[in-house]
Structures are given as structure tokens and as C-alpha cells.
């Protein structure tokens, strides 16, 4: 086994990310990067990443996703504000298949993340490494590099995250927030029940609704 893998600490969290190029088994360093991992796991539990695209691709370097707007300008953390970077001496940008937080500067982490296609030492102590692509699923991740890109590093036909499933969650106190779509769905169901109830009452008052 390579010394690269020996020096990395054991992972303690796991997420299955289903993408348009196949499944990715993501193992997380929840002890070494607790803020980033808690954020990622909760967003996955809430379906935040479902149907989002990989909006940025730099061949031989990284592929980036996690922005629900698909522009590279959006996304938010579970904390309601950007959270701080987390660096660990045993987590280094020395290989492909690492999962890290994208940011626009120091301590500016929200929801966007990226996977590495190679060693990227220039990112060390600038981006939080919080996970890795495990096992044979790394070959699915490498398929993300095949897309055609324009001059702005945007894939012409972007691949996407279909859905995520949290398999191992050490943060037992996480309570997923109700998403706006779920809230809207609840309101619509409430309105339907209310309208149906009013119509039923009106039918009773008219003496209808019974058999002849």
C-alpha cells in the first residue's frame, strides 16, 4: 500500500452520491474536518445537492459542484453563514479522488465542493479536505473529466448529482431542516384538504352527496 494512503487517518462517515456517470462512494474525515463534514452530511440529508450540476471542470485538476444555481456563484451552508477552513497535517492534496470545499477565499466555505483528478499541492492550506472517493467508484469520478468545456471552464453538457444517501452519520444530533419545496408541498396539501372540506360541507348543506 502506498505511503500516501497509510498516512491518511481513518474515515468515520460515508455518503453514497449517485451521479449521471455512476455511483460515488464518499468516505468522510468527520473528526479531522467536523464543520465541513457536518455541513455536507446535513445538506445531503436534506436533498440539497439533488439534481445539481458539476458546473466547473479543469482537466487534470478538479471538477466542482454543489451550487444549486449551477452558476458557481450560489450555495449556502447549514450554519447560515460561511464557515472556517479546517486543515489537518495528515490530509494533503497529494493524489486524485480527494473531496474538498470550494471557496472564494479564506474561511469562505458554504456548499460547493470539488474532487481532485491529480495531486494539487498548490491547494494545500487553502481548501478544506474532508473526504475521498473510495474503492472502484473512483473510476466513475474520473469520467467527469471527459466532458467538453468552454473557455470559462464550464462543461458544455454538464454531468449532475442525481441524489445522495447518507450511509454512516456520526453526527447523531443533526436534525434536517424542512426544505422550501417540502414546505410548499405541505401548504398545497393543506389547501387541497381545506378546499375539499369546504366543498364537502357545502354538499351536505345542500342535501347532496347521498344515493338516490
Measure the CA–CA gap between 41 and 76, rounded to whole angstroms. Answer: 14
Catalytic annotation present for 56: yes
* pLDDT in the model for residue 2: 56
Q: Identify whether 88 is a catalytic site residue.
A: no
Once rounded to an integer, what is the mean pLDDT over residues 90-106?
Answer: 98
- Is the domain of 125 the same as that of 48? yes
Are 159 and 182 part of one and the same domain?
no
Asked if residue 207 and residue 121 are part of one domain, the reply reads no
Q: Report pTM.
A: 0.82
Check whether 189 has a pLDDT greater than 60. no
Question: Does residue 83 have a pLDDT over 60?
Answer: yes
Q: Residue length, the chain?
A: 212
Residues 15, 110, single domain; the answer is yes
Would residue 200 show up in a list of annotated catalytic residues for this protein? no
Q: Which of 61, 87, 88, 142 is catalytic?
A: 61
pLDDT of residue 212: 36
Out of 123, 130, 154, 159, the active site residue is: 123
Q: Which of 64, 112, 159, 169 is catalytic?
A: 64
Active-site residue, 64 included: yes
Range of the domain at 58: 3-172
- Catalytic residue, chosen from 40, 54, 93, 114, is 114
Which CATH number is 78's domain given? 2.40.100.10
Nearest to 182, CA basis, from 50, 75, 52: 50
CA 149 to chain centre: 22
pLDDT digits (tens, 9 = 90+) for 13-64: 999 999 999 999 999 999 999 999 999 999 999 999 999 999 999 999 999 9
Residues 155 and 74 in one domain: yes
Q: Is 61 a catalytic residue?
A: yes
Q: CA 86, CA 77: separation in Å to the nearest integer?
A: 15
Q: Tell me the β-bridge partners of 43.
A: none
Average pLDDT for residues 61-78, to the nearest whole number? 97
Amino acid at each position: 500500500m502506498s505511503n500516501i494512503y497509510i498516512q491518511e487517518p481513518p474515515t468515520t462517515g460515508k455518503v453514497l452520491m449517485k451521479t449521471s456517470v455512476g455511483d460515488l462512494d464518499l468516505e468522510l474525515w468527520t473528526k479531522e474536518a467536523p464543520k465541513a463534514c457536518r455541513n455536507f452530511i446535513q445538506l445531503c440529508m436534506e436533498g440539497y445537492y439533488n439534481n445539481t450540476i458539476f458546473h466547473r471542470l479543469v482537466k487534470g485538476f478538479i471538477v466542482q459542484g454543489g451550487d444549486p444555481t449551477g452558476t458557481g456563484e450560489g450555495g449556502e451552508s447549514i450554519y447560515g453563514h460561511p464557515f472556517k477552513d479546517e486543515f489537518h497535517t495528515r490530509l494533503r492534496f497529494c493524489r486524485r479522488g480527494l473531496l474538498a470545499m470550494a471557496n472564494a477565499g479564506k474561511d469562505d466555505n458554504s456548499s460547493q465542493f470539488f474532487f481532485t483528478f491529480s495531486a494539487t499541492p498548490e491547494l494545500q492550506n487553502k481548501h478544506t479536505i474532508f473526504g475521498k472517493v473510495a474503492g472502484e467508484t473512483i473510476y466513475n469520478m474520473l469520467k467527469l473529466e471527459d466532458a467538453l468545456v468552454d473557455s470559462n471552464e464550464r462543461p458544455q453538457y454538464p454531468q449532475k448529482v442525481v441524489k445522495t444517501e447518507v450511509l454512516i452519520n456520526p453526527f447523531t444530533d443533526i436534525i434536517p431542516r424542512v426544505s422550501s419545496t417540502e414546505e410548499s408541498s405541505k401548504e398545497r396539501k393543506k389547501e387541497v384538504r381545506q378546499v375539499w372540506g369546504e366543498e364537502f360541507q357545502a354538499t351536505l348543506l345542500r342535501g347532496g352527496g347521498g344515493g338516490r
